[in-house]
Structure formats: C-alpha cells, structure tokens
C-alpha cells in the first residue's frame, strides 16, 4: 500500500535530523517537525491515500476468486471481455475497501470475502460510483446468530444502519451464492437493503404485501420458506423483489413488466442486453 511506502522516507528523514541535532547542532531539531507532521498526515489520511493508489493501480483479484467467477457465477460468465475485466477490478477494489470482521472463526476466508464482494459488485455493476454506501464493516459468522437488534432470533443476515455494518452467516450465504435459484440469496438481499439506504436506491420500484403471490410465482419460493431461511419473521419486500430481478430476470419481466423497467432504470442494468 502507498501509505506504508511513505512511512519509510519520513521516518528516515526524522531520524537523520534527530541525529544531527544530537551530534552536530541542536538547531537541526527544527527540521524534524515537517517529517513528524508528514507522518501524522499520512497516518490520518492513509485510507484515502491507499484508495487513490488502488484506483490507479488496481490490485489483482486472487486466482481462486477469479476461478470462482469463471465457473460458478452466471452473471459474470455472460459479460463481455471488457465488462469482465471491469467486474474483476471492482471486486478486488471492494475487497480492499471493506473491513471483514470474523465472529466465531479466526478470520474471514479470502474466498468468502470474494463471494461477498462479487455480490455487492453485481448489484451496482451498472452504477458509476459502486462504493457509494457507508456500510464499510462486514461481520461474518459461521452459522446463524442473534444480535442486539434481534436477540430472540437466530438469523442469517442483517444490516445495522447506525454503524454501517452488514452481517452474514456463511452457512446460508455460500449456498445462496452458488445456487441462488434454489436458495434465497441473502447476500443480494442485504445489499439491496443497503442500496435502498442510498440516494440512488430511492428510484427503485415500490412493492406491497399484495405483490407476494407474484414474487412467489417468479421464484418458486414461498414467503414462509424465505423467512425461515433468513431467520426473521419480517422481510423488506422491495429488497426481496430486487433479489428476484437479479436471479430470475426473464420471469420477473413476465410477471412484473412495469417493475422490471423500473429496476432497469434504477440499477442501469438490463439483462436483455448483457
């Protein structure tokens, strides 16, 4: 990272002038101040400095994550060569820009980080600014968990808006990423909720309780099964609709033709033209 590379010359400069002030002339101590101030600025601004660097020299996506995209991710597979490269770069940047926090495991495995990043990038792929949300902390549990918001429910995912936190259970996240037509995709669901928190998300079509039969027709998943999979007895129906737009676009367009066009406009993503 660029910020780490800046530390060495600044520290060296400060040490040189400290030595000169000690061994040659005490007036050299004044020259230590700019280096110390530089170190403080780099420390405070290191996230911005590193992000600027990564945008100009994107990190390589780990080979095993790239293989996962090539073999198990239909959305990526249908993209053209230029869009595939853009997707890989965005996934790598997302992985660098977020803090992955393990709970009940020593670390969040890199492949799981890649799954989360690819899911986020999939949803905002049509957007110019794909990192506009404030949810920078991603907590991953190995299995369903209770939380301060829902202490009575062992659930698979949630967002905590106040602290910009997204939480996932790996036990539900991985199957839903690998087989989203069989398992409700909790990754897309939570990122759809995050997207709805942003200004861009205000343009998403509205859905009501009366639309549940149509959503069940699109997905073949009952509301009860989805609630059981997520682990909470209440769902944001508009976020559920975004999931099914992404996973079952052809069926979604048949059942909700107007909402499909609304999704295309809001997300700048049309599966008819990928």
DSSP collapsed to 3 states, 221-266: CCHHHHHHHHCCCCCCHHHHHHHHHHHCHHHHHHHCHHHHHHHHHH
Please state the pTM of the whole predicted model. 0.82
Parallel, antiparallel or unpaired: strands 137-141 and 165-169: parallel
**Cα 66 to chain centroid, rounded:** 17
Q: Which residues 6+ apart lie within 8 Å of 114 measured at CB?
A: 61, 62, 64, 65, 68, 91, 95
Q: What tens-digit pLDDT sequence spans the chain (274 residues)?
A: 454 555 567 677 666 766 667 767 677 667 667 766 656 665 565 555 555 555 666 678 989 999 999 999 999 999 999 999 999 999 998 998 899 999 999 999 999 999 999 999 999 999 887 766 689 999 999 999 999 999 999 999 999 999 999 999 999 999 999 999 999 999 999 999 999 887 667 789 999 999 999 999 999 999 999 999 999 988 999 999 999 999 999 999 999 999 999 999 999 999 987 7
């Amino acid at each position: 990272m660029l910020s780490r590379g800046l530390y060495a010359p600044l520290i060296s400069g400060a040490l040189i002038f400290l030595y000169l002030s000690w061994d040659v002339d005490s007036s050299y101590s004044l020259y230590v101040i700019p280096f110390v101030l530089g170190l403080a600025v780099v420390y405070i601004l290191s996230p911005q400095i590193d992000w600027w660097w990564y945008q100009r020299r994107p990190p390589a996506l780990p080979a095993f994550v790239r293989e996962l995209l090539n073999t198990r991710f239909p959305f990526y597979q249908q993209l053209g060569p230029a869009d595939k490269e853009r997707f890989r770069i965005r996934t790598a940047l997302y992985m660098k820009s977020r803090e992955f926090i393990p709970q009940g495991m020593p670390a969040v495995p890199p492949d799981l980080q890649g799954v989360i990043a690819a899911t986020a990038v999939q949803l905002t792929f049509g957007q110019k600014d794909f990192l506009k949300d404030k949810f920078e902390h991603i907590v991953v549990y190995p299995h369903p968990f209770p939380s301060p918001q829902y202490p009575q429910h062992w659930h698979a995912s949630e967002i905590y808006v106040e602290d910009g936190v997204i939480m996932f259970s790996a036990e539900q996240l991985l199957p839903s990423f690998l087989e989203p037509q069989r398992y409700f995709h909790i990754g897309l669901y939570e990122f759809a909720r995050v997207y709805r928190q942003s200004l861009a998300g205000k343009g998403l079509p509205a859905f009501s309780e009366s639309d549940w039969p149509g959503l069940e027709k699109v997905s073949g998943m009952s509301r009860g099964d989805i609630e059981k999979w997520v682990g909470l007895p209440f769902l944001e129906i508009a976020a559920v609709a975004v999931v099914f737009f992404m996973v079952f676009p052809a069926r979604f367009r048949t059942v909700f033709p107007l909402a499909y066009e609304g999704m295309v406009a809001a997300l700048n993503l049309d599966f008819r033209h990928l």
